[in-house]
Amino acid sequence: MLKIFLVEDEVVVREGIRNTLNWEENDFIFCGEASDGELAYPLIQKHKPDIVITDIRMPFMDGLELSRLIKKEMPWIKIIILSGYGEFEYAKEAINIGVTEYLLKPINGTELMKSLLKVKENILNERREKANIERFKKEIQEYEEDEKRRIFYDLVNNSQPLGSILERGNELNLKLSAVVYNIILFTIDHTRKNHRETMQLNAVNRELKQLFDISEDIIKFDLFMDGMALLLKGNSLEDLQRKQEYYINRIREIMDNYKGISYFGGIGVAVNRLGELSRSYHEASRAFSYRYIWEENLILDSSAISKTRELLRRTNRLNMDNIVKLDKRKVEIFLKSGSKEDVSNFVDEYLQSIGSENRNSILFRQYVVIDMYSIVAGFCKEIGIEDYELEKPLHNENQYSRLITDFNNTKDYIKRILEKAIELRDNITTKEYNDIVSKAKIYIQENFCREDLSLNQVAASVYVTPSHFSAVFSQKTGQTFIKYLTDLRMNKAKELLKFTDMKTSEIGYAVGYKDPHYFSYLFKKTFNCSPKQYRNSIKKREDSGCFNS
């Protein structure tokens, strides 16, 4: 029910309005009254009515001044002005203030209630429209995140014209233009073991989101299970460096508050053109790939890699007595989560610290070849793959001699078997993902008419977590879950509009929308015409130009 507040200095008129109108029968609540604007204003602030009825001429504070105050502080309140004066200037000023209705006295109860019902309908329509917009925004949030990802990958791969990318960015309120840029790739450990760790992870994500959302200097792109990309913008190289240091320090401060969550970051190189972001991304990716090698809780600058390598060479020269320092666990971890693109950097860095004395040792090279093959073959067996698909080091004597006579040959062999193992792993994963998506599509097809159908429910039906399902579904279909579901529902609605005589409200309900207003809103948002317009256009001719078919 809508709340009504009355401001009228004439007692007889005020009592007449309050006592003679059927408030409850028309879904109104008479919540208060006052004899002038000065007395009314604090009461209106307290009760926050939906509609204020006020006389225009009152002592102390008139209706126009009261209307100005109300519209400034509480712009959603609708105002009906009652005036015994028909002068144009009063009406014009009332319109400028934002008054909804301007009624001339004397006015009877029937006319006032008619005006109130008209204003009530406007309020309800505005609320429905606002609710529809908010719901639509919520539903397309996932789509917008997916489009942001696409924009990022198009930028760093130079796969689309820059003008087109900038236009797409503007549609999402992404201000991409700057003087200089850099990219930071960042990930945190998402493997939670208990409720407390899950709560910590959620808190970290909230703090990071707040940090990145408060400034236009940095744009966050969610890269699914690979973490996030941060596009840092500056007005000069010095300005960019200051901002980079600030954000890295803030990230570290946030992460240090959550000791149980590990992280790793890779910093690229500064560039002064969007078209050169591929170079920044490449360097950031190179630094980021060292998460498989170096310690956790590090944000690594790509420019520091060569210096760190040299330091490691000087301080960690190995020999056959301490060869165990080549940590096999790092290889096993890399095989489980690394990519083919990371193999070269991983192998180079993994073998970097062994020292020239070991690189020149045939015995060492024999050890590394056999050991690496053993690790990779064990991994293949673990995921159900026979090792006959791997290049065996002892296939024949000539091959084995070639592998160990030169350190580069040894290193190239290790890269080949790692790449092959990851390829085989990805083939299995692709099949599993295809099965997940196929089953999910069947479930969606069978349940799209349920209004409460959600990503969480579909993910549960295929036995994966919602975040994992969201990533897999988008990667395999090229659409977010909500976009896929909405397109399916809208196309089903078009079929029913075209081939049945069902009412629009019935069709909306049949495709999963109990609220007919929201269904019509979403249909128009999708096809640029209402369901009724679409149906009428079919009767005139097939596929009229008012919609996208």
- Amino acid at residue number 424: L
What is the per-residue pLDDT for 316?
Answer: 43
What is the per-residue pLDDT for 312?
Answer: 45
Tokens of 61: 């504070």
What is the per-residue pLDDT for 88?
Answer: 59
What is the per-residue pLDDT for 135?
Answer: 74
What is the per-residue pLDDT for 354?
Answer: 64
pLDDT per residue as tens digits for the range 370-394: 888 888 988 888 888 776 677 877 6
Separation of alpha carbons 280 and 156, rounded Å: 8
Tokens of 450: 């349920």
Separation of alpha carbons 338 and 276, rounded Å: 26
* Alpha helical stretches, state H, 158-194: 162-171
Buried b (16+ CB within 10 A) or exposed e, 159-180: eeeeeebbebbeeeebebebeb
pLDDT per residue as tens digits for the range 248-287: 999 999 998 887 788 999 999 999 999 999 999 989 988 8
- Amino acid at residue number 171: E
What is the per-residue pLDDT for 277?
Answer: 94
The position carrying tokens 């096999």 is 328
Distances from the Cα of 117 to the Cα of 23, 74, 95, 108, 184, angstroms: 11, 21, 20, 14, 57
Number of neighbours of residue 503 by Cβ within 10 angstroms = 11
What is the per-residue pLDDT for 502?
Answer: 92
In eight-state DSSP terms, residue 463 is T
Number of neighbours of residue 41 by Cβ within 10 angstroms = 18
Number of neighbours of residue 303 by Cβ within 10 angstroms = 13
What is the per-residue pLDDT for 250?
Answer: 94
Matching fold, domains 178-303 and 449-540? no
The domain limits of the chain are 2-130, 178-303, 316-438, 449-540
Answer yes or no: CATH 3.40.367.20 is held by domain 2-130: no
- E-assigned strand segments in 56-143: 78-83, 101-104
Q: Which fold has domain 449-540?
A: Arc Repressor Mutant, subunit A (1.10.10)
What is the per-residue pLDDT for 341?
Answer: 83
Separation of alpha carbons 112 and 118, rounded Å: 10
What is the per-residue pLDDT for 295?
Answer: 66
Question: Which among 60, 96, 102 is positioned nearest to 80, based on CA atoms?
Answer: 102
What is the per-residue pLDDT for 541?
Answer: 62
- 294 Cβ contact list (under 8 Å, min separation 6): 300, 349
Q: Which fold has domain 178-303?
A: Alpha-Beta Plaits (3.30.70)
pLDDT mean for each 10 residues of the chain (549 residues)? 92 88 91 91 93 88 88 90 72 78 82 90 86 73 79 90 91 90 89 68 86 89 80 95 95 88 91 93 87 79 67 45 59 84 84 68 82 87 77 69 83 91 87 90 94 86 80 84 91 92 92 88 88 86 52
Torsion, CA 66, CA 67, CA 70, CA 75, rounded to 10? 180
Buried b (16+ CB within 10 A) or exposed e, 206-231: ebbeebbeeeebbbbbebbeebbbbb
What is the per-residue pLDDT for 317?
Answer: 44
For 265, the 3-state DSSP assignment is strand
pTM, rounded to two decimals? 0.57
